[in-house]
Amino acid sequence: MLKLAILGFLYDRPLHGYQLRRHLAALTGHVRPISDGTLYPAIKRLEADGLLVRETEPGTAAAPRHTLHLTGAGRTALLDQLREPEPLDISDENRWFTLLAFLRQLDDPAAQAVVLRRRLAFLAEPASFFYDGDRPLGAEEFADPFRRGLLLIARATSEAELAWLHATLAELEGALTD
């Protein structure tokens, strides 16, 4: 997840760790900045895998800045992850939204394929939540306002996404048949 996001941001332009942290904070909702203890080891992992290189700028600011650049392997790794041939797990919202943030890096047919897979996984999703014994409960059966809230919010999100999926697929269809 973090790996995907780091590669995605660096694809646009080289950044140093601190800028990267700000970008990541924005992506995750502006509230939970990825902690340093998560970010810097992740950068090291990517460096060890040869997906990025650091260029040290001495004397620029207080601490020695390390500007991070994607390597060719890094760019390939990002595009591979975006294309992701396996079916897209709907319950992994974080992964999907991160993917969405960088999907424009793919060409139209590849992006379309990803969006189509998402719609497929989406439509296959069973709508039930919670059980009474072994019987799944429908949304209307909840006396509990909190669980009802959970379902209402989940539904609103689903509907918004489905609407967007359709609009975007139509748009891509248009672009591809021109």
Q: What is the binding site for its own copies (CB under 8 A)?
A: 22-23, 26-32, 89-93, 97, 100-104, 111, 121, 125-126, 128-131, 136, 144-147, 149-150, 152-157, 159-161, 164, 168, 171
Helix (H) or strand (E) holding 160: helix 145-177
Report the residue number, 160 or 176, with the smaller CB distance to its own copies.
160
Measured distance CA(114)–CA(140) in Å, rounded? 33
**DSSP per position, 11-33:** HHS-EEHHHHHHHHHHHTTSSSP
Using rule CB under 7 A, residue 142 touches DNA: no
| Half-sphere CA count of 3, side-chain side, radius 13 A | 16
Across the chain, how many H-helices and E-strands are there?
Answer: 7, 5
Q: What's the closest the beta carbon of residue 44 comes to its own copies, in angstroms?
A: 24
Residues numbered 40-79 forming contacts with DNA, rule: CB under 7 A: 40-45, 61-66
Q: Minimum distance from CB of 145 to its own copies (Å)?
A: 6
Shortest reach from residue 98's CB to its own copies, in Å:
9
